[in-house]
Amino acid sequence: MYDTLANAIGLFATFQNVMVLFVGVVVGTITGAIPGMTTPMAVALTLPFTFAMQPVTGILLLLGVYKGGLYGGSITAILINAPGTPAASCTAIDGYPMAKRGEARRALDMALYASCVADFVSNLSLILFAGVLASFALQFGPAEVFTLIVFSLTIISGVSGDQLLKGYGSACLGLILATLGLDLVFGTNRFVFGNLNLMNGLAFIPVLIGLFALPEIINFFVQKSTPREQSALAGMGATFADFKNNLKTIIRGSFIGVVLGAIPGIGGAPAAFLSYSEARRTSKNKANFGKGELEGVAASEAGNNGVAGATLIPLLALGIPGDIITAIILGAFMVHGLRPGPLMFQENIDLIYALFIGIMLSSFYLLIIGKASIRVMSKISDIPQRILFPVVFVFCVFGAYAVNNSIFDVMVMMIMGIVGFAMLKLEIPAAPFLIAFILGPMLEDNFRQAMLISKGDPGVFFSTLICWVFWVLTTVVVGLTIWSYIKERQSEMVSRGVGNLG
C-alpha cells in the first residue's frame, strides 16, 4: 500500500503535471464562462494536446478543464443570465436576481465555495467509495431512473412560486418541446414537418440562452427607465458566516451530486435541481427562492459540482462512460493504451492513485483561480445596461451558433427569446419550462425503455425498493405542496373577507 502510494506520488509530483493541471482548470473556467463554449467542447478541443503527453499528464489536463468548466458555467449564469450548461441554469434562478441587486460578487463567491466543497467531497467519494457506489449505480435500470426523474420534477412546484398552475403549464410546454425530433424507439418523425434541422430535436444551450438571457434584454429595451435596485450587500463578497450558514446545504447537495453522478447517463442537471429542491424544502427562507436567495446558489452549485468526481466512478471502476465528457476522457485513456475498468485497478494502480492526487489538487486550484477571477468578473454587472445588454446579445449570438455551428440554433435562440418575453409578460414562470425541457427526454426515454423491457406491464415501476423509495418521496413532496397551496389560498380568502368587511 505504502509502496503504491510512494510510486503514485513519484508519478504525479512533476512540475509538468502540477502546471498542466493548473492550466487545465484555468482553461476550463474561462471556456465555461463563455456562452456557447460548453465543457464537453472545451475537453474535446484539449484532447489533441494530450496525445504527445505522458498518460497521467494528459488525463490530468482533461480533468482540469472538466472541473474548471463546471464552475465556469455558473459565472455567466449569475452575471448575465446566460447559463453555459444545463446544470448552471439552476444557478441562474437565484444567481441572476442577486446580480441584479448588485450582489454578483456574493453570489459568485458562494458558487465558488459550494463548487470547491462539492468537488472535494466528490473526489473523496471517488477515492473511498468507488466500488460501493459503482455497484449501487448498477442497480439503476430504466424504471429506477424514471422514478428518480419523476421525483426530480417535483421541484417544479418549488420554482413556480405563487403561480402553481401556470408553473405546471409551463413545465408541460417544456416537456412537449423536448419531444421534437426523431422518435428513439421507432425512428419516426415527431413535429419535424420536413425540416431536417429539427430531426435531432432542439439543442439545450440555444433554448437556455433564449429563454433566460434574451427576455431580459427585450424587457430592458421596452422599459428602459427601470432603475437597478441596490441591496445593502451590493459589491460585497460572501462572508464566512454566509458560508457557515449554507454549509449544511452544500454538504447535502454534494452528496446528492455524488450519488446521481455515479449513475451513468444522469449528469449534473438533475443533481443541481434535486439539491435546489431539497434546499428550498428545508429552508427558512422558502419564499425567497427564485428571487435571489444565496442558499439557492449554494445548493445548485453543490449539486452540479458534486457529480464531478463521481462521474469518474463508473468510468474507472467499470469502464463505463456516464456522459460525453467521461467518454472523451475514456478516449484519452485508450489513446495511451489504457483500458479503464476493474483490471486497471490491478495493472495500473499507481496511475489511478496519481490521478486521485491530481484530482484532489484540482479542488484547491479551483478555489485559487475562482477567487482571482471573481474580483474581475463581478465588475461586469457594474457596466451600464445600455452597453451591457447589446454586448450580451452579441455574445448570445456567437454562443448559440458555436454549439452546433448552426444558424438554425441562432434562430431557435431568437424565437425562444420571444417566447420567454411573452412568458415574462404573462407571469408564466420560465424555470419549470426549462427544468422539464432538460429532464423531459430522460423521463420519456426511461419510461419507454422500462415499458419495452416489461412488455407493457406498468408494474415495472413498482418492482424494486429504489422505485418505491422515489414514489414515496414524490407522494410526500406533492402532498405537502398541495396542502400548503390550499392553506395559502384559504388564508388569502380569509384576509380578503376581513378586508371586505372592513
Partner 1 sequence: MVRNRDFWAGIIFLAIGVGLLVFLIPVGIDEPKRVKFAVMSPSYYPRIIAIAITIIGLMITLGALAEKKPGSSFPNIDARPIFKVVVVFIAFLLTAYALPHAGFVLTCTLALFFLMILAGERNPFIIAPVALLLPICLHLFFAKIANVPIPGGILEPFLQGI
* Interface ranges with partner 1 (CB under 8 A): 31, 34, 37, 41, 45, 165-166, 168-169, 172-173, 175-176, 179, 183, 185-186, 188-193, 214, 217-218, 220-224, 384-387, 389-391, 393-395, 397-398, 401-402, 405, 407, 410-411, 414, 417-418, 421, 425-428, 444, 447-448, 451-452, 455-456, 458
28 contacts 66 by C-beta, under 8 angstroms: yes
Residue 102 gets the label, from left (phi > 0), alpha (psi -120 to 50) or beta, of: left
Nearer to partner 1, 369 or 402 (CB): 402
Nearer to partner 1, 14 or 189 (CB): 189
Nearer to partner 1, 187 or 337 (CB): 187
Nearest approach, Cβ of residue 361 and partner 1 (Å): 26
Nearer to partner 1, 155 or 298 (CB): 155
Nearest approach, Cβ of residue 163 and partner 1 (Å): 9
Residue 415 gets the label, from left (phi > 0), alpha (psi -120 to 50) or beta, of: alpha
Nearer to partner 1, 5 or 383 (CB): 383
Written as nine digits, the cell of 468 is 418505491
The closest alpha carbon to 245, from 293, 303, 191, 312, belongs to 293
Specify the amino acid at residue 19: M
d(CA 128, CA 255): 13
The alpha carbon torsion through 268, 184, 40, 414 (nearest 10 deg) reads -90
d(CA 155, CA 275): 10
Nearest approach, Cβ of residue 436 and partner 1 (Å): 9
Nearest approach, Cβ of residue 359 and partner 1 (Å): 26
Nearest approach, Cβ of residue 37 and partner 1 (Å): 7
Nearest approach, Cβ of residue 376 and partner 1 (Å): 17
Nearest approach, Cβ of residue 450 and partner 1 (Å): 10
Distance of CA 117 to the CA centre of its chain: 16
Nearest approach, Cβ of residue 150 and partner 1 (Å): 13
Nearer to partner 1, 168 or 345 (CB): 168
Q: How many helices (H) and strands (E) does the chain have?
A: 21, 2
148 contacts 447 by C-beta, under 8 angstroms: no
Question: How distant, in Å, are the alpha carbons of 148, 168, 284 from that of 447?
Answer: 11, 20, 35
Nearer to partner 1, 55 or 167 (CB): 167
72 contacts 32 by C-beta, under 8 angstroms: yes
> Which long-range contacts (C-beta less than 8 Å, at least 24 apart) are formed by 446-452?
446/142, 446/143, 446/145, 446/146, 446/149, 447/142, 447/146, 448/184, 448/185, 449/142, 450/141, 450/142, 450/143, 450/146, 452/185
410 contacts 205 by C-beta, under 8 angstroms: no
Nearest approach, Cβ of residue 413 and partner 1 (Å): 8
Nearest approach, Cβ of residue 117 and partner 1 (Å): 31
Question: How distant, in Å, are the alpha carbons of 86, 275, 488 from that of 279?
Answer: 19, 6, 21
Nearer to partner 1, 9 or 453 (CB): 453
What is the Rg, in whole angstroms, of the alpha carbon atoms belonging to the chain? 23
Nearer to partner 1, 13 or 221 (CB): 221
Nearest approach, Cβ of residue 426 and partner 1 (Å): 4
Written as nine digits, the cell of 479 is 402532498
d(CA 212, CA 79): 12
Nearer to partner 1, 42 or 369 (CB): 42
Nearest approach, Cβ of residue 495 and partner 1 (Å): 15
Nearer to partner 1, 113 or 421 (CB): 421
The closest alpha carbon to 55, from 358, 290, 488, 405, belongs to 358
Nearer to partner 1, 183 or 347 (CB): 183
